[in-house]
Amino acid sequence: MVSEYIVASGGERKTLLAKLQSASNYEDYVAKAKEMDKRLGLDEWKNKDRSAGYDWRTLQRLNRNLRHLRAERNYEELMVVLQGCVKSNFAGVENPMLYSQCYYGTKRLIEEYNSEVLSSINAIIDTDKVAADEKRIFFRIISRNYGKTALALSGGASFCYNHYGVLKALLENDLLPNIMSGTSGGGIIAALASTRTNKELLTLLTPKLAQRINAADGKKSWDWIKQWWTTGALFDSVTLARKAQWWTLGSTTFRESFERTGKILNIPTTPHEPHSPEILCNYITSPNCCIWSTLLASAAVPGVLKPVVLMEKDRKTHKIRPFSFGSRWQDGSLRTDIPLQSLNSYFNVQFTIVSQVNPHVLLWFYKNRGDIGRPVPRPRGKSYRGGFLPSYLENLIKLESLKWLKMIKDFQILPNFLDSDWSSVFLQRFDGTITLFPKIKVKDYFNLLGDPTEEQLAQLISNAELVTYPKLLFIKHRLGIERAIERGRKLNKNTTAGFSESESSTEEELNSSDLDSEYEEEISMGMRQRR
């Protein structure tokens, strides 16, 4: 935020913050963040249950109740209580404000809630006093109630290389969700993460990866102008298609990727025809579609890359042929950069981690009351970054700008440019439950289409890791409960259905997904009808 740098004071906080930003890894970051909270007196806030940000009285009663029921081994009643409290943002425990008042951690009461819920879920898993059928139904219900977590990587040309640092921080701390979405450049990185196992991915997320990032081929400004003048686009789709196949393991399809790693890849694409609906490509909507073709479509910004035809692989002959009757598709960011609604519809995603690096978006995001792991740097009692008046003026300017942009769209004042409708580019929802904003410098805007060197990529990864570290505890709390639920579902589905360890990994992942069997049948029927 601009006003924070102008008005906010430094002092001891500034010195401690500099140390925090020099952390070499997550463990180092946590140690320095805890020291900072202690030195600045922020631990006092954590120890007080009271807060307007959540229902603390309900949590106090709930924690006592869960402990009592486990001690009494009253598992039937324990399941009833868990069905009522294992829900997304129950009593406000997932309110980002509660993680924005200190540099590490949240209310002790919320930490206690997470611990009690995990212990209670594990008690249900381990007990033999509850029938397997009852457990199966119980875990299916709370899985539906709690929902899934997804990672969404925005577009943003060369700014997208920051996503590698986000992936690395999540992966090294075992917090990478199995559901991922990526648009444009973010789609390429999501494809890399989804087509590889976590072990394979960790070996790739190093500065040497820069050797594979060669879309620009070292072109200079004159080369770009000449390319655009002669072809109408800065990039050649055939050349990019060939290069993209390293990131997608050749002509791997969405179904094949899912079967190989158990990760669910989603790529939003927008039809070139303005009256057709966009599609979120994944193993449900387009199982046999080649991932590399959707990456080209998602990156086809008008003037940068021409609209492309999606391609699919015949499951029997493995021949490549046009998908969706040969329709042409382009950049998903034109309508849906972060496909929150579709992710919820297909996979019951109720918690999203968004890495947002779109150049035209960064200026509009403003956390005037602090962000997760980044409290307001003001004396106690003054809760706005930079003070109330500068914060108010900055917010007013941004809201007024958005108001006029919406008026332009509603009255269809903006004409089509490069044969495309750009009216939704600024008016979509670009954030998630947690939104990461890797630091972008002014000089980076002059290299939007360039390829990074190993040194530059190393710096981008390091900077993005530091931006991700403050959010990891929040993500850990969320995924801890989610994974415990999935463990219960897998164990009890395997017990009731007689599954063995030798069953295919695909079947296990289908069991662990949040799709009911009836819904899976509907999806299969829909796929057959489209064919």
What distances in angstroms separate CA 483 from CA 97, 175, 177, one per listed residue? 24, 10, 10
What residues contact residue 242 under an 8 Å CB cut-off, 6+ apart?
Answer: none
184 carries an active-site annotation = yes
**Active-site residue (options: 3, 120, 154, 184):** 184
Q: List Cα–Cα distances, 341 to 179, 336, 338, 417, 421, in angstroms.
A: 14, 10, 9, 27, 21
Measure the N-to-C terminal CA separation of the chain; round to a whole number of Å: 50
The reply to whether 444 belongs to the active site is: no
CA dihedral angle for residue 398, residue 401, residue 403, residue 406, rounded to 10 degrees: -120
- Using CB atoms within 10 Å of the CB of residue 379, give its burial: 0 to 12 exposed, 13 to 18 middle, 19+ buried: exposed
154 secondary structure, DSSP code: -
DSSP H or E segment with residue 435 = strand 434-436
Kindly give, in sequence order, each residue whose CB lies less than 8 Å from that of residue 431, ignoring residues fewer than 6 positions away.
Answer: 338, 354, 356, 365
Helix residue ranges per DSSP H, 336-453: 340-347, 388-410
Task: Considering the candidates 158, 237, 331, 333, report the single residue annotated as catalytic.
Answer: 331
The CA distance from 286 to 266, in Å, is: 10
The 3 state secondary structure assigned to 394-415 is HHHHHHHHHHHHHHHHHCCCCC
The distance from CA 397 to its chain's CA centroid, rounded to whole angstroms, is 28
Is the separation of the CB atoms in 247 and 191 below 8 Å? yes
Q: Which residue intervals of 375-453 are DSSP H helices?
A: 388-410
Triad 202, 208, 209: Cα angle to 5°? 65
Q: Which two tokens stand for residue 242?
A: 């060939």
Catalytic residues: 184, 331
